Amino acid sequence: EAYARNPMFNIILLPDNVGKRKAQIAAIRRSYGDLVLNVDSDTILASDVIAKLALKMRNPTIGAAMGQLTASNRSDTWLTRMIDMEYWLACNEERAAQARFGAVMCCCGPCAMYRRSALLLLLDKYESQFFRGKPSDFGEDRHLTILMLKAGLQTEYVPDAIASTVVPDRLGPYLRQQLRWARSTFRDTLLALRLLPGLDRFLTLDVIGQNLGPLLLALSVLTGLAQFALTATVPWWTVLMIASMTIIRCSVVAIRTRQLRFLGFSLHTFINILLLLPLKAYALCTL
């Protein structure tokens, strides 16, 4: 109602809720600009986001670019504070490193800009994605990014294009979100394997690390539990190794950002071991 009378806006109302992917496709097919910006409904953009992303997209070899995500409700609960730090790490460690080598592996939905000419060539593949004989209804952001990379285009990260999004403030919604993301990661990592020979070698190392890391952590935890069950002795070596890695990582980030709050991200290790590792195993088994 606020924007319907404004000639700069064209509001598309679909008769049914057909999901994010088909809504995106409907909008893209009726668009006419050179660039398409995807923003989730719970996201607020800084006033200069479009200008900064568009500046990056001047390079014709770039097919998509994403901004930095923060939690707009960071101060609500301990969980939202934790997720805000998790977002910072995902953007400014993972995505920033991937962008250094020309291929951000997932341009996140809350704030991602795409080259429309490339999108139009990829829409049929995007719309007709199947997995194990069924239409796919999750992992849109990651799959669209992989299609861009398959088309020979680069994907970028713009750290000073800030978008604030609402994050789960309770464990239940957070774990359901993580389950969807885990399934998407497992499925689209398989699709991305064919891309790796044509990308920088760092991306191969990164994909291997992201998938083997949780597996090795899970094996460490299981062997530690087995030692405790069989010998009634505490696996101090395993505990100290995991604790040391956690403290070093969080300390480095606290120094980089000059924010002591990142030392509190050490608590995420407990969430990772007790909740996220079992959830990822369940996601893989029910993929």
- Burial (0-12, 13-18, 19+ Cβ within 10 Å), 87: buried
The answer to whether residue 130 is domain-embedded is yes
Residue 238 lies in a domain: no
CB count within 10 Å of CB 72 equals: 17
Q: Is residue 135 part of a domain?
A: yes
> pLDDT (tens digit, 9 = 90+) per residue, 181-217?
998 888 888 888 888 999 999 999 998 998 888 899 9
In this prediction, residue 229 carries a pLDDT of: 94
| Any domain includes 250 | no
**pTM to 2 decimal places:** 0.91
- Residue written as token pair 């609500």: 76
Please give the structure tokens belonging to residue 17: 């809720």
Residue 271 lies in a domain: no
Indicate which CATH number applies to the domain containing 63: 3.90.550.10
Q: Identify whether 182 is part of a domain.
A: yes
135-167 pLDDT tens trace: 777 778 988 999 999 999 999 999 999 999 999
* Low-confidence stretches of the chain (pLDDT beneath 50): none
Task: Tell me what pLDDT residue 205 has.
Answer: 93
Q: Which domain holds residue 94?
A: 20-210
127 pairs with which residues across the strands? none
The predicted structure's pLDDT at residue 54: 97
Count of helix runs (H) and strand runs (E) in the chain? 11, 7
- Decide: 136 and 190 in contact? Cβ < 8 Å: no
141 lies in a domain?
yes
62: phi then psi, degrees, rounded to nearest 5: -95, 125
* 251 occurs within a structural domain: no
